Amino acid sequence: MNNIKVDIDVNSGFCFGVVYAIDMAEEILEEHDHLYCLGDIVHNDAEVQRLEKKGLKIIDHEFLRTLKNERVLIRAHGEPPATYKLALENNLELIDASCPVVLKLQNRIKKAHDRDERIYIYGKHGHAEVLGLLGQTKNEATVFMDLNELDISKMPNEISLYSQTTKSMDSFYKISKDLKEAGLEVNENDTICRQVSNRDKELRHFAGRYDKIIFVSGTKSSNGKVLFKVCKDRNPNTYFISDPKELDLSWFESDDTVGICGATSTPMWLMEEVKAKILKMNINNVA
């Protein structure tokens, strides 16, 4: 395998919300030996393990209920009001690293709920961000991933439609169009993060420029699954990995051009390791 050219997509890597949360965690861990984090700080095992070595302790809501007099980081996905109430009861200091885009969306949904609007949220059931959004409505909003989940004949005539910030913009507007064509009055609220949604177009262009694409992402990342499909649709020779160890020499041929890209939860340092491993495979083969 000779003369392989490897490039990393400069637009891949953490979105600003994740950068903000990780920077905040690292800053606190420089002064303290540990910091609790409610849920994975990012949906990438390699990055979580790196931070755990610095003292980050990942906990769930069940453990949170037993915790008192500690610092707890709220990750970029945000949390429902119940978490903040519990923190007051247990004397917990919340380090709120909720993404500003998510906080803005939470506020809009709360105000809409206070106006007694019928709220529908296009998003993934059980996703941390969606649970935070539901909490703004006292869990009264309807969450759906696909129109097939809804019985349109039983829906109110007028609804307010929102979206999880990382969903596809095209899918959101298609859903809104279909609901309107079914006779509903839809108050559209495009709450999709442009830094995430623009990745679709950027990745389609990037994936078309190379013989092979290595898509790097954690298996828990919803955004990663969506963006991997974008690359795979554009370039069938796209391979999903979470760790450089998963690279397979048989994927590559002499003179290949290889593009490396990833999800909004994929650290740049991990993509750099993948690049180094591919180039090392090349050197070993030549030797």
Closest listed residue to residue 127, CA positions, set 163, 88, 73, 84? 163
Query: How many CB atoms lie under 10 A from the CB of residue 260?
Result: 25
Query: How many CB atoms lie under 10 A from the CB of residue 62?
Result: 7
Query: Which ranges in 43-184 belong to alpha helices (H)?
Result: 45-52, 61-64, 81-89, 100-114, 128-135, 169-181
- What is the token pair recorded at 264? 């909004």
- What is the token pair recorded at 9? 């997509």
Rounded Cα distance, 242 and 252, in Å: 18
Structure-token match 């991933």, residue found: 145
Rounded Cα distance, 22 and 19, in Å: 5
Structure-token match 């007099």, residue found: 69
The residues annotated with a catalytic role in the active site are 129
Report helix, strand or coil for 121.
strand
- What is the token pair recorded at 252? 């590559």
Number of H helices, E strands in the chain: 10, 12
186, β-bridge pairs: 159
Closest listed residue to residue 7, CA positions, set 176, 200, 258, 237? 258
11-40 b/e with 16+ CB inside 10 Å = b?
Answer: ebbbbebbbbbbebbeebbeeeeebbbbbb
Rounded Cα distance, 77 and 99, in Å: 7
